[in-house]
Structure 1
Amino acid sequence: MLIRIFDFLFSFFGLLFLWPILLIICVLGYFDTGSPIFRQERVGRNQKPFTLIKFRTMPVNTQSVATHLVGASSVTKLGSFLRKTKLDELPQLINVVKGEMSLVGPRPCLFNQKELIDAREARGVFQVLPGVTGLAQVNEIDMSTPEKLAEWDEKMIQTMSLKNYFTYLIQTATGKGSGDRV
């Protein structure tokens, strides 16, 4: 319950104070791809679908698959910058405010990632809200290794505490972990 309160407060005030940056990225994204906001159905808590919101980092017509399956040439120049700085994740603060995500939790996968869904189901990972960042992300484990990712997600869930919550947030904000490998 305390983590949900922190999630809401940090996300709400993040959106409140960062709206000028969000607006600038939207304008730049409009010139970059013609459609700066990316929405995609993802697997949420208890495997219920929700719509993830991010800044678009690839052209509009890019195939809807896991990032590691898309070629690096598909990422735009602005998209590359947004990914390196993790600014492409900022719109997910809306998902956190709405209660669909937490700031810290397992990264939400696509419904077509059957191997990852099965591995996470077996480990009880879907019992918690998906997150913007987590233990796997700060340790450079992405969705290209589904079994390993599910294992680290389970480890994060079992060891979650306020201290770890803040540790993962600080590590993400200071650039630990490279995110998805593209």
Structure 2
Amino acid sequence: MSSTAVILTLIAVLVVIAFWIFSVYNSLVALRQRVEQSFADIDVQLKQRRDLVPNLVETVKGYASHERGTLEEVVKARNAAMSAQGPAQTAAAEGQLTATLRSLFALSEAYPDLKANTNFQQLQNDLADIENKLAAARRFFNNAVQEYNTGIARIPALWFAASFGFTRKDFYDLGEQRVQLEEAPSVKF
């Protein structure tokens, strides 16, 4: 074999390897984008939920003004949820907001006029709808994270994923509040 043929063969092999690396890199980029997009979907649902809280607090305040402590806890939890960053911190803050909202809804049992208020009922329905959408968005996010983590752990990506900045992502873990949040909020009239 001539030296020219060896050089051309070597160049062809290097080109094939380069295209293969580009292909693996691009698939990892697509997986990472899917994770980021799916977390953004969760964030949209959480923002909608947080936007309901002031209306809910104002509605309850009109009927149960002496329940100031509960109302302040809801507002405090909402503010903490709004400043949370990343899946782990967001999950913890949103879990606390969910707990305070449950205590707020428990007040409606003590105030029949509040329970019968159409605005309050609509806010409860909206919140239940958002909770269902959030559950679906969390499942989609965790699926995207699982695919991404599997993608960077598979050979051949495993060999160079870390050097390209692809690191393991965390799941959206609800922690101790998983049992409470997996139940759809009950809307009683």
Normalised by the length of structure 1, the TM-score is 0.29
Normalised by the length of structure 2, the TM-score is 0.28
Q: Which has a greater percent of strand?
A: 1
Of the two, which has the highest radius of gyration?
2
Q: Which has a greater percent of helix?
A: 2
